[in-house]
Structures are given as structure tokens and as C-alpha cells.
Amino acid sequence: MEPPAPYTPEFTPDGAAEATTYFIELYPYVYATGDLDAWEKMSEDGCEFCNSVVSNATELQNAGGWIDPWEQEITPLEWWTDENDPNRYVVRTQVNSHERDQHPGANEPPIHIEQAEDILLVQLRWTGSNWSIEIVDIEEGGEAK
């Protein structure tokens, strides 16, 4: 699997939305390949979601497993800035993830993962030259199919 095409960092609302989309596009790539470089470069040290993906993907790869690449439709819906820090944005994004199989390794049978529709709230901060992901949350009301 090829990594997602890189984006051009811009300190604009559209730039925040593009960075968010790119980060979400990295999610299937990380689980399919175990390549965490781009993910870790965009993740703040204190980002719980980001760190859990690193831990889970590493554990899966170390067991000889992976998740088959899957398609996602990613649609940024709206954004807003932090009233106390104009370098911090939150991008509300709809993500429709297609079904896929997880191969846990260790001669375990594949696990089927159903299609999911979620609304993500992604908080990111402009560092002066790039966007850095601070928090990723699932908005209540997303449903799996």
C-alpha cells in the first residue's frame, strides 16, 4: 500500500481541514503497513488517540498481523478556532469507513470489521510550519453498519 499523498501545510481554515483529512487518511495506512513515521510526526506527545494507534498498530504488527487497506470517505463539515489560542483549530469531520478484515497474526482467523460512519472532532495546532494533532474524539451519535 502506498502512503497517502502529502498535503501542503497552510495556516488557513482550508489548511487545517486538509491536514485533518491527511491525518485520517494515514489511519488505514498505519494499520496495513505498520509504517508510523508520518503518523508520529503529526501527533502531539499527549494525544491519547494518536498514542493508542501507535500502540495498537505496533502490537498487531509484532504479532504478525495487519488490517487490510480500506477506503474512507472523509468530509470536513465545519471548523472553529480556540478563543484562547488562534493557532488551535477544531475540525469536525464525517468519516465513512468501508468494511475490512483484521488479520491478528499468530495463526488466528481474520476478524471482519463492519462499515462505520463517524463524526470526528480533531483538534490541531499550527506550529509555525505545520499542523500537529492534539486530540481526536468521536462525536456522540456516530453509528456502525
| Residue 26 pLDDT > 70 | yes
- Cα of first residue to Cα of last residue in the chain, in angstroms, is 25
Which pLDDT value is given to residue 107? 87
pLDDT at 141: 61
Confidence of residue 97 (pLDDT cuts 50, 70, 90): very high
Among 42, 35, 99, CA closest to 61: 35
Mean pLDDT of all residues belonging to the chain: 95
Task: Examine the pLDDT at 142 and tell me if it is beyond 80.
Answer: no
Percentage with pLDDT > 90 across the chain? 94
Angle value at C-alpha 52, between 70 and 5, nearest 5 degrees: 40
Is the model's pLDDT at 144 over the cut of 60?
Answer: no
Residue 25 exposed, middle or buried by CB count within 10 Å (0-12, 13-18, 19+): middle
Say if residues 102 and 29 touch (Cβ distance below 8 Å). Answer: no
pLDDT value, residue 137? 97
8 A C-beta contact, residue 9 and residue 131: yes
